[in-house]
């Protein structure tokens, strides 16, 4: 019996995780975010109404689910309260349904200012972060300098620690980045405005989850970002600052090392990336432009244009391995509908024609990669909204079979449009 599943992005994020988490939440009791922060943007479309969630788990739109923001997430109190206000406007209540871990590291305005200042300072070699303060907040966490949500209960400790942090960051802002210092009192007063509301939803979320597991409740672990942005396994240094792979679940929930019943890897039928960094199959032609336009490839968090390219089965295979993926969900196949031919990357060679078998480590090696493609026939008809596999054109089925054969993993869900209902379920997971 499957009681818990992990939903993880296989590429550089924005694979359509939010849509699938929402879809599977119908049969789930708990939905858990375990890493990242409001750098995520997860889109759910129900009857043409679009909701974008950044911190709140994507199961919140089903009124019986319990949503958890686990220990490994970095949280801006101000942002979270704003997001709650927004979903309240759509008549969605979070009362007794949304719980925040007391162990979450707080994103302070200092983190956001430093993130921005560094990006500006680095110019062309910048990471292209979301400028939400994610990296600096995680840095504080591992440097044992951070403030945590539970610390809000202790005003004296909180203000003393905040003072120390303000000295640390103001010296960087002034001396390294030629910026103005940020007034510590202003930050303290601002954060205290949200204290009451934040503490109302704060608790020991790991106990909730341990109990849920004992009772065999159904749990979805909702990944943010994608495996190629993982701090260890991604295209370093062009990555985010958390473990975006399933390993983040074990450190980011307080559940310890347990057996995941099923890991669902989400991949688009092509590739996108927002921000800088390696992207071997990137396209700079009309087809890339078609993916951008038809796929509406604009970042849900920052509004930036996403870079686009062909699907990369070499990188997909790596993501499958590091996440112990059991099944795949292939999203956005409808974006390929008009194409005469579809290319899939099946290997790499170096610019001097040497075959490359290992995925590079150093950023300098990535630049030498030339993708090797297999060309498949396009289907040139609409797949939008199809919800039965047998109704797909033969060429679309062949595309699915090719990916399955190459990766040796079954495609269990196919997404044919943004709406909850635009989905082909090939295997009932829960």
Active centre residues (catalytic): 14, 42
- Applying CB under 6 A, does 278 fall inside the site for ligand IMO? no
Q: How far apart are CA 301 and CA 18, in angstroms?
A: 13
- Applying CB under 6 A, does 331 fall inside the site for ligand GDP? yes
Q: Name residue 4's beta-bridge partners.
A: 219
- Applying CB under 6 A, does 222 fall inside the site for ligand GDP? no
Cβ–Cβ < 8 Å for 262, 326:
yes
**Residue 152 or residue 312: which is nearer to ligand IMO going by CB?**
312
Binding mask 201-240 for ligand IMO (x = CB under 6 A): -----------------------xxx--x----------x
Binding mask 297-316 for Mg ion (x = CB under 5 A): ---x----------------
Q: How far apart are CA 289 and CA 356, in angstroms?
A: 29
Q: Please provide the DSSP assignment of 195-262 as one string.
A: HHHHHHHEE-HHHHHHHHHHTT--EEEE--S-GGG-TTTSSTTSS-SS--STHHHHHHSS--S---SE
- Applying CB under 5 A, does 41 fall inside the site for Mg ion? yes
**Residue 14 or residue 115: which is nearer to ligand GDP going by CB?**
14
**Residue 296 or residue 375: which is nearer to ligand GDP going by CB?**
296
Which of residues 28, 103, 235, 416 is near ligand GDP by CB under 6 A? Answer: 416
**What does the angle CA 99 – CA 213 – CA 230 come to, to the nearest 5 degrees?**
65
Cβ–Cβ < 8 Å for 271, 14:
no
- Applying CB under 6 A, does 417 fall inside the site for ligand GDP? yes
CB of 338 to ligand GDP, least distance (A): 13
The site partner of 278 among ligand GDP, Mg ion, ligand IMO, none (C-beta below 5 to 8 Å per kind) is none
Q: How far apart are CA 79 and CA 194, in angstroms?
A: 10
**Locate tokens 């719980």: which residue?**
99
- Applying CB under 6 A, does 274 fall inside the site for ligand IMO? yes
Q: Which residues bind ligand GDP (CB under 6 A)?
A: 9, 13-19, 41-43, 45, 296, 300, 331-332, 334-335, 415-418
């Amino acid at each position: 019996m499957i009681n818990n599943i992990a939903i993880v992005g296989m590429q550089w994020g924005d694979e359509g995780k939010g849509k699938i988490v929402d879809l599977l939440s119908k049969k789930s009791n708990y939905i858990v975010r375990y890493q990242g922060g409001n750098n995520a943007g997860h889109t759910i479309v129900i009857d043409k109404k679009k909701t974008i969630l950044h911190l709140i788990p994507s199961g919140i739109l089903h009124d019986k689910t319990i949503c958890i923001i686990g220990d490994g997430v970095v949280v801006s109190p101000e942002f979270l309260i704003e997001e709650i206000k927004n979903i309240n406007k759509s008549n969605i209540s979070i009362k007794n349904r949304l719980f925040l871990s007391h162990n979450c590291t707080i994103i302070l305005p200092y983190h956001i200012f430093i993130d921005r200042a560094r990006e500006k300072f680095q110019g062309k070699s910048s990471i292209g972060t979301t400028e939400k303060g994610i990296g600096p907040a995680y840095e504080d966490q591992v440097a044992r300098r951070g403030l945590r949500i539970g610390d809000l209960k202790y005003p004296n400790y909180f203000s003393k620690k905040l003072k120390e942090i303000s000295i640390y960051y103001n010296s960087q802002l002034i001396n390294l980045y030629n910026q103005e210092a940020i007034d510590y009192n202003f930050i303290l007063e601002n954060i205290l405005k949200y204290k009451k509301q934040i503490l109302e939803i704060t608790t020991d979320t790991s106990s909730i989850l341990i109990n849920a597991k004992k009772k065999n409740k159904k749990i979805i672990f909702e990944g943010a970002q994608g495996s190629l942005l993982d701090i260890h396994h991604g295209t370093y240094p062009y990555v985010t600052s958390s473990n975006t792979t399933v390993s983040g679940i074990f450190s980011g929930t307080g559940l310890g090392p347990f057996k995941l019943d099923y890991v669902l890897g989400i991949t688009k039928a092509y590739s996108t990336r927002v921000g800088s960094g390696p992207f071997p199959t990137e396209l700079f032609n009309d087809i890339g432009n078609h993916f951008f336009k038809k796929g509406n490839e604009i970042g849900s968090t920052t509004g930036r244009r996403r870079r686009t390219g062909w699907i990369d089965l070499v990188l997909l295979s790596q993501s499958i391995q590091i996440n112990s993926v059991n099944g795949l969900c292939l999203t956005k196949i409808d974006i390929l509908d008009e194409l005469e031919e579809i290319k899939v990357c099946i290997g790499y060679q170096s610019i001097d024609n040497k075959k490359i078998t290992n995925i590079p480590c150093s950023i300098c090696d990535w630049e030498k990669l030339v993708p090797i493609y297999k060309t498949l026939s396009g289907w040139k008809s609409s797949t939008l909204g199809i919800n039965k596999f047998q109704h797909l054109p033969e060429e679309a089925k062949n595309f699915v079979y090719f990916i399955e054969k190459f990766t040796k993993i079954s495609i269990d869900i196919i997404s044919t449009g943004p709406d909850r209902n635009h989905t082909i379920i090939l295997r009932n997971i829960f």
